[in-house]
Every structure is written in structure tokens, then in C-alpha cells.
Amino acid sequence: MSKRDFFPQRPEANPTIYAYELTDVSSHQGLLKVGYTSRTSQGRIAEQLKTSRIDYKIVYETSAMRSDGRFLQIMMCIII
């Protein structure tokens, strides 16, 4: 068995953690939507909002990849 078979290369991925706010929805003022995606944040948000044409602003976006190559897993909770 070669080293290449024993240590397979990590697939190309750039998981992203992001947060955005809906800028023109007064009932959602001060609230953030937090997400995790293996695609682009903009593409994922576009999927979520579909044809609603709601304006949004990304307020946080960072890689979910740790320096050692592992993925950062997130837990989300809602505080009422």
C-alpha cells in the first residue's frame, strides 16, 4: 500500500460560517440569521430568500476550517 492510498488527500472545501440581517424588515430589526455552508455565503443566502427580493447585509463571514484542517462545528441556540 502506497502512502498516497494510506493518506488520501482532503477534498477541496471551504466551509463558511456567516451571519446576516434583513435590512428592510422592521419586524426583524436587531435579529441575525446565522448559517454554515460549504458554498459561498451569498449563494446560500440567495437560496434562502429565493424570490422575496428582501435586502440583506452580511455582518459576519469567516472560514470554518481550523488551522489543522478540521472543520469547526457550530451549535446555534436561540435566546428569548
Q: What is the pLDDT of residues 27-78, one digit of tens each?
A: 999 999 999 888 899 999 999 998 888 999 999 998 888 777 666 665 555 4
- Confidence (pLDDT) at 69: 67
The answer as to whether 73 is a domain residue is no
Note whether residue 39 is domain-resident. yes
Task: Return the H-helix or E-strand segment holding 19.
Answer: strand 16-22
In the three-class reduction of DSSP (H, G, I as helix; E, B as strand; rest coil), residue 3 is classed as helix
* Number of domains into which the chain is organized: 1
Q: What is the distance between the alpha carbons of residues 55 and 68, in angstroms, rounded to a whole number?
A: 36
- The verdict on residue 23 lying in a domain is yes
The range of the structural domain enclosing residue 44 comes to 11-63
Q: Are 61 and 42 in contact (CB under 8 A)?
A: no
Domain-located, residue 28: yes
Amino acid, res. 47: E
Query: Is there a contact between 64 and 22 (Cβ–Cβ < 8 Å)?
Result: no
Q: Show the cell assigned to 39.
A: 458554498
Is residue 72 included in any domain, yes or no? no
Q: What is the pLDDT of residue 58?
A: 96
pLDDT at 79 over 50: no
**Could you tell me the pTM of the whole model?**
0.71
